[in-house]
Amino acid sequence: MSDREFEPRIVAFFCSWCTYTAADLAGVSRMKYASNIRIIRLMCSGRVDPQFIMDAFARGADGVLIGGCHPGDCHYISGNYKCLRRFHLLKRMLSDLGIEENRLRLEWISAAEGDKVKRVVNEMVQQVRALGPLDLPGRFGEWDKEVRELDARIQQEHDAGPCEAHAVKESQA
Amino acid sequence: MTDKPKVAFYWCASCGGCEESVVDLAEAILEVVQLVDIVFWPVAIDTKKADVERMADGSIAVSLINGAVRTSEQEEMAQLLRRKSQLVVAYGSCAQMGGIPALANQYSRERILRTVYEEVPTVDNPNKVRPQPDYVDDAQICVHLPEFRQRVRSLDQVVDVDYTLPGCPPTPKLLAEALHAILDGNLPPKGTVLAPDTALCDACPRKDSKPEDVGYTEFKRPHWTILDPEKCFLAQGVVCMGPATRSGCDAQCIRGNMPCTGCFGPTSRVHDQGAKIVSSICSSIAAEDSDGIESTLSGIPDPVGTFYRYGLSKCLLRGRVDAVDAARSSQEGTR
C-alpha cells in the first residue's frame, strides 16, 4: 500500500434495533460520513463474539467499531451489558497483544441518533488513519517468509537428489 | 525387517512430557511394539536423522510429532518426517497450538535473545556473544547451528497435519485409542482432533453445581483461596477454562481440585479459545457499569497468559503483533 493516503478499513458491528437503524436514519437524512466502514448488521451487540473482532483484525481490518443500544434500552434486556463486559476484557487483552487502543471502539447509539453515527465514524476514521495500517495479513506473510524460504530450499535439495543435496546446501550457506 | 507398520516419534520444542506419556502406556506398550515397528524415536532408541533420510518416501505409517516449532532444525525434521510418512499426528498441546513455548510470542526474538544471553543475572557474557548459525572454526570447518525463528509455530503452521492428539500431555488412553484406530484403518476425516468434541464442562464431575448465571463479583486466583473440592470452580469465582476447552482428559485437574487451564484446546466449533472464554466469562459478570466491570476483571491480571496458556500460536492474532524484530537486516545483525 502506498503512503500517499492511507484509507483505513473499519468493520462495524451494529445492532439491528438501535445503531443500524441510526445508520439508516443518517442515510435517509442524507448525512455524509466517511465511507471507510463496512457495516455488519447483527440482531444485538450481545451477539458480537470476541472471535468476530479478532477475526476482523486478522483478516485485514484496521479498526473495529461496535454499536449497540444505550444501557437499559436493549431489545433483549441485557445483550448490551454482555457486550460492554466483553469489550472491557477484550480491550485489555488486545492491548497486551499489541493492538492500539483506538482500533477498537464501542458506542451506544440509539435509533434516533443518526448524527452520532456520523460523528463517531468520522472520529474513528481520523484516529485510525493517524495510527496507520494494521495489515495483519501482510505481517503474517512477512513472519512466515522464513518458513517458506526453508520449504523452497528443502524442495530444491529433494529435487536435486541425494548426491547434489550437499552442494545445494553449501551454495545457500 | 518385518512388515509391521512403521511408527516414528519426534520431539520439537517440548518438555519431554509427551514422551513420558508414551511410556505411560505401561504394559500396553508391549502390545504396541508387537503390532508396530518403532523406527525413529530420539528420546528412547538410537536412530539418527540419516536413518530417516534413507527410508523411502511414505514408508512410515505414522509419525507422532510433539512440541512447538521454534527452530529451523525442527522445521526440517517436521518436513522430513512428513515426506517419509503416510500420516502425521500433531501430538500434544505444543504441536497442536504452540503450547507453553508459544507464550514467547508475546516478545520479539531480539528481546528473548538479549534477555537470555545478556541480561539474566547469572549470565557472564561481557562480549555479548550470541549463537552464530554459521561459524567457521580455525580449521576452516563450517559449523551450522539451527536458526532461532521469529515466531513459535504449531506443527500445522509448518507442515500438513493429518490428525491431532490434544493434551499436555495427551492421556495414554487417547494415544492407545488413536494407535488402534490407525492400525485398524478406522480413522475419522482428515483434520480431526482425536478426542471427544464436547466442552470439558459436559464431562465435569462438578457439572451439577454450575449455576445458570454465575454472576461474578470478583475473580480469585487459585492460590489465594481455599478451593471447595465439590463445587464448580466458576461458581467459586476462579477462572476455569472448562467452557472453552475440549473434553477427553477425564477431568484430571478438576479431580485434583485445580481448575482447567485449557490444554486440550477448543472444540471444533471454536476458532479462538481465548476469545471464546472471554465471551463466556464476561457474559456472567454481575456488574453492569464500567467501574464495576473493571473492578471485577482486575482479578484476571494476565488475560493472554491465562486464556492462551497453551494456544498462543493458534490465537487468531498469533501472538503480540508488534513483537517481531523490525527488519530483515536487524535480524542479520543479531546472528
Residues A104 and A62 both lie in one domain? yes
CATH number for the domain spanning A15: value is 3.40.50
Chain mean pLDDT for chain B: 93
Least confident of B130-139, B162-171, B226-235: B130-139
CATH 3.40.50.700 domain span(s) along chain B: 6-100+152-183
A94 plus A23 within the same structural domain: yes
Cα separation, B12 vs B98, whole angstroms: 11
Share above pLDDT 90 across residues of chain A, in percent, rounded to a whole number: 85
Domain annotation covers residue A5? no
d(CA B243, CA A51): 15
A109: exposed, middle or buried (Cβ count in 10 Å: 0-12, 13-18, 19+) = buried
Query: In this structure, is residue A39 part of a structural domain?
Result: yes
Residues A159 and A116 in one domain: no
A119 and A163 assigned to the same domain: no
User: Looking at residues B146-169, what average pLDDT do you find?
Assistant: 96
> How many domains does the structure of chain A reveal?
2
Closest approach of A20 to chain B, Cα-based (Å) = 22
* Residue A30, in any domain of the structure: yes
Whole-number pLDDT of residue A76: 96
Decide if A2 is inside a domain.
no
ipTM of the complex: 0.92
pLDDT at B326: 66
Q: Which of A18-22, A119-123, B208-212 has the lowest mean pLDDT?
A: B208-212
| Contact yes or no for A93 and B307 at CB 8 A | yes
Residues A79, A156 within the same domain: no
For B6-100+152-183, CATH number? 3.40.50.700
B115/B124 Cα distance (integer angstroms)? 12
pLDDT, residue B171, reads: 95
Q: Comparing C-alpha atoms, which of A63, A56, A53 is closest to residue A6?
A: A63
CA B91, CA B168: separation in Å to the nearest integer?
A: 9
Q: In sequence order, what are the beta bridge partners of A68?
A: A108
Q: Are residues A67 and A97 in the same domain?
A: yes
Residues B9 and B23: beta-carbon distance below 8 Å: no
Residue A4 falls inside a structural domain: no
Nearest to A51 among B79, B271, B289 (CB): B271
Indicate if A58 and A32 belong to the same structural domain.
Answer: yes
Query: Is any Cβ of chain B less than 8 angstroms from the Cβ of A53?
Result: yes
Are A14 and A98 members of one domain?
A: yes
This prediction has a pTM of: 0.92
Residues of A in contact with B136 (CB under 8 A): none
For residues A20 and A47, state if they share a domain. yes
Inform me whether the C-beta atom of residue A49 falls under 8 Å from chain B C-beta atoms: yes
In a domain, A92, yes or no: yes
- How confident is the model at residue B329, as a pLDDT? 39
Q: Residue B142's CB: how many other CB atoms inside 10 A?
A: 10
Same domain, A49 and A83: yes
Residues A85 and A153 in one domain: no
B137, pLDDT greater than 90: no
Could you tell me if A158 and A86 lie in one domain? no
What's the domain range around A159?
142-172
